[in-house]
Structure 1
Amino acid sequence: MTGEAFIAFLAEYWLSILSVFCLLVLSGFFSGSETALTAASRSRMHTLENNGEERAGIVNRLIERRDRLIGALLIGNNLVNILASSLTTSLLIGLFGDSGVAIATLAMTVLLVIFSEVLPKSWAIASPDRFAIAVAPLVRLFVAVVGPVSSLVNGIVRRLLNIFGINLASDMSMLSAHEELRGAVDLLHREGSVIKADRDRLGGVLDLGELEISDIMIHRTSMRAINADEPPETCVRDILESPFTRLPLWRGSTDNIIGVVHSKDLLRALAEPNVEPENLDIVKIAQKPWFVPDTTNLKDQLNAFLRRKLHLAIVVDEYGQVQGLVTLEDILEEIVGDIADEHDLDIQGVRQEADGSIVVDGSVPIRDLNRALDWSLPDEEATTVAGLVIHESKSIPEERQAFTFHGKRFIVMKRVKNRITKLRIRPAEEGAPPA
């Protein structure tokens, strides 16, 4: 075909060519809108809507019926793609004859892939929230028109899938809300948007419902308590020398907790006229003890602390035996990390050695170690590092025994009776078989 004939062809079919161009633009609009609206952050849209952005509210309402939205956009996209391909084929057949079919197929494939799929979707995924807000009003109008057809198509699809045993009616997420939040926080931490301390705090909040009091309580072997049978002046001295504000009071045996002494109550009592440590009745100033089961989860216990306006509870097992105590501060430390004040004792439970190994007291909680060193040792079956070694080895190890599991080499340094009191932990050697 000569140049003059080609110009004449363009003059005759300019409307059809313009129509193909407009259809390509519409196809790109549908593709980009689908990508942006499915990738848009629902939390971001919710925040923008609360701040008065009306188009964010449109996005939220469109996303609420995601199947109807995607169905309508796919119908629109396929309609314009088929129509553009048909027009182009008709035009090129008139220009090149039968070979115009092959040319039209090749040309439309290139144009649709580049300008109607890759380009708009790449643009949309680069800034999905902004793109979604921009196209939301137009998409809402289109969905309002094509929505009934989309619902009909979705109904047909569901019935066809039901034949093969696939049920789309149960719109249940594979992940819980907490798991989705945790995954988002971990991802943002890896990308550098969230620092480790913030990630740990957010993770601590999400973990409260999964942890029990027994996971964080101060065990009875480490519990500081006052013997009511001791002379009053001895009790007063022990309370004032203690770094703790509240101390359990027992009589006869440590299983018989009869109260909790608050240091402020003690000071008020000593400030009374004619009251001396020698004639003070400790039992009278003690508050009634509060006993809680060791299986209570931390979320419920935190709410109970706030509701009762108390800071300390005695932990008992299913037989009513005292297992230890838990404080409000213990639960808060699961969220914010260790809380130290000017009266706290400096307890060295973890020590970094010059060779890169870590020397750990057996009583150090696994969660504290993970948080301090950014490790991921499992804490489902054991609470302390010593408990983890016993659980994994299925025995009570001897001193100098070593075990390799979870990417670490655990060496028992000291054992007192059946209790592991000190361990050395270092990275497992490449190819070392687990002991």
Structure 2
Amino acid sequence: MDDITTTTLSLFLVLLILLSGFFSSSETGMMSLNRYKLKHSVNKKNKGAILTQKLLSRPDRLIGLILIGNNFVNILAASIATIICTRLWGPDAGVIIATVGLTFIVLVFAEVTPKTLAALHPERIAFPASFILMPLFKLCYPFVLGLNSITNGLLRIFGIKINDIDNDHLNSDELKIIVNEAGALIPKRHQNMLLSILDLEQVTVEDIMVPRNEINGINIEQPIDEIINQIKNSVHSRLPIYRDEIDHVEGFLNARQMVKLLTYDDNEITKEALLKAMTPVYFIPEGTPLNTQLLNFQRRKSRIGLVVDEYGDILGLATIEDILEEIVGEFTTDFADSSRDIQKEEDGSVIIDGSATIRDINRTLKWELPTDGPKTLNGLILEYIEAIPQAGTGMRLEGYPMEILQVKSNMIKSIRVWPELYQNKTELD
């Protein structure tokens, strides 16, 4: 070492500091990579990404390799710096200057700066570095394997198994965070659709069904002329056929069969023809999540079903269109048409039918009424005041000023709400 000039040692020291920065940036870049961006690059046959994925398949060995290289160059750099400083300033002052000076240089040029750069641009650092680290890994494999055997043995003493590496699978809540943080990469409407799909498992058929008392069907016991008139004026593409009451449902009459029947003369349409044209009833158990029900509709090639409770009583009617609206939103754009139960008045107030579902209200008016209890506004108000109110009763529900307009048969039929007053209160708060 005494035969090597100070200039040569200085150049060698600079090289070692650069190598230290390389190992530091490689470690941070590899560990900061987005695993899904990496997989996307691998699918595009990016050679750097492919090598990086191979290295990351065993992160313990990758870290071992990088630390072997980093510690080796740092220790060697410290020895050379000590020799240089000792030559220039003597043995006593040289050791102190070498220690302080090299610590500062390593921190700035071999640690903080390269690691910050790698954290900001992991792909730009990790992918090129993999072309160097992979051959180096093969060259140093015995040393890396020996080091990992010792460290993994120590971890096993504490009950940690290195093979129990957490996989990259995400749950629905984590996926929602990714979608929300996508920003401009995914249009806002597409974000809402993706989030709605992820929410399907948390929503049941009761949340989107048409309540029993609002089901529009054909009572086969009615006179045939009334039935024909009902079919001609129906706005629905599928109608349940029942006897006297909906609990005695016989089947469904779809739009195609309706059109076919209406091509006949009125005197040729009989109740027997209606019963022969109908399709079988599909019953949906209450509590069925929407993601499950969507698959059930697909398997059965059905579009409509009746929701029943554990006793077989009919609770309501659910269609595949109702589920699709949970994903893409209402199929209409006009406010008045978006929900037949919600009407906006000229004075800024909103008239809401008591049977309107909480989810429909929240979606249409962008409110945040609780959905973990009663499914309708009528049920939510009754739960809140614990009594049957009279018409004209005023209240504030979840911050929204409301007035009960009509009560009939122990049910709230209509409510007036002033959203502007709620917004003004929020701004004052």
* Identical pairs, percent: 31
Normalised TM-score (structure 2):
0.83
Match of 2:252 in 1: 260
Match of 1:338 among 299, 323, 330: 330
One-letter code of the match for 1:333?
E
One-letter code of the match for 2:197?
V
Checking the alignment, whether the CA contact within 8 Å between 2:19 and 2:70 is kept in structure 1 is yes
Structure 1 CA distance for aligned equivalents of residues 376 and 58 of structure 2: 47
Structure 1 CA distance for aligned equivalents of residues 37 and 249 of structure 2: 52
1:200 correspondence with 2:197: no
Q: Which runs of 5+ in 2 are unaligned?
A: none
**Following TM superposition, by how much is the alpha carbon of 1:229 offset from its aligned partner in structure 2, in angstroms?**
0.8
SS at match of 1:411: strand
Q: Any residues of structure 2 matched to 1:376-415 within 5 Å, and which?
A: 377-388=369-380, 393=384, 395-396=386-387, 398=389, 399-404=393-398, 408-409=399-400, 411-414=402-405
Checking the alignment, whether the CA contact within 8 Å between 2:404 and 2:412 is kept in structure 1 is no
Match of 1:70 among 35, 39, 63: 63
Match of 1:214 in 2: 206
Match of 1:151 in 2: 148
Match of 2:86 among 89, 93, 103: 93
Match of 1:134 among 124, 128, 146: 128
Aligned length: 414
Distance 1:282 1:130, change over 3 A: same
Q: Which runs of 5+ in 1 are unaligned?
A: 1-8
Match of 1:121 among 109, 115, 124: 115
**Following TM superposition, by how much is the alpha carbon of 1:44 offset from its aligned partner in structure 2, in angstroms?**
2.3
Match of 2:313 among 294, 316, 321: 321
Structure 2 CA distance for aligned equivalents of residues 35 and 394 of structure 1: 58
Match of 1:56 in 2: 49
**Following TM superposition, by how much is the alpha carbon of 1:43 offset from its aligned partner in structure 2, in angstroms?**
2.2
Structure 2 CA distance for aligned equivalents of residues 173 and 69 of structure 1: 17
Distance 1:419 1:161, change over 3 A: farther
**Following TM superposition, by how much is the alpha carbon of 1:153 offset from its aligned partner in structure 2, in angstroms?**
4.8
SS at match of 1:238: helix
Match of 2:32 in 1: 39
Structure 1 CA distance for aligned equivalents of residues 55 and 369 of structure 2: 43
SS at match of 1:325: strand
Match of 1:19 in 2: 12
Distance 1:301 1:135, change over 3 A: same
**Following TM superposition, by how much is the alpha carbon of 1:303 offset from its aligned partner in structure 2, in angstroms?**
1.3
Structure 2 CA distance for aligned equivalents of residues 361 and 149 of structure 1: 73
1:368-407 deviation digits (Å, cap 9, x = unpaired): 454456555543334445555556x373574312244xxx
One-letter code of the match for 1:335?
I
Normalised TM-score (structure 1):
0.82
**Following TM superposition, by how much is the alpha carbon of 1:22 offset from its aligned partner in structure 2, in angstroms?**
1.6
Checking the alignment, whether the CA contact within 8 Å between 2:251 and 2:278 is kept in structure 1 is yes
**Following TM superposition, by how much is the alpha carbon of 1:351 offset from its aligned partner in structure 2, in angstroms?**
5.7
Checking the alignment, whether the CA contact within 8 Å between 2:342 and 2:352 is kept in structure 1 is yes
SS at match of 1:247: strand
Structure 1 CA distance for aligned equivalents of residues 365 and 64 of structure 2: 48
Structure 1 CA distance for aligned equivalents of residues 134 and 350 of structure 2: 60
Structure 2 CA distance for aligned equivalents of residues 113 and 415 of structure 1: 75
One-letter code of the match for 1:24?
I
SS at match of 1:83: helix
Q: Judge which range, 348-357 or 220-229, deviates more.
A: 348-357
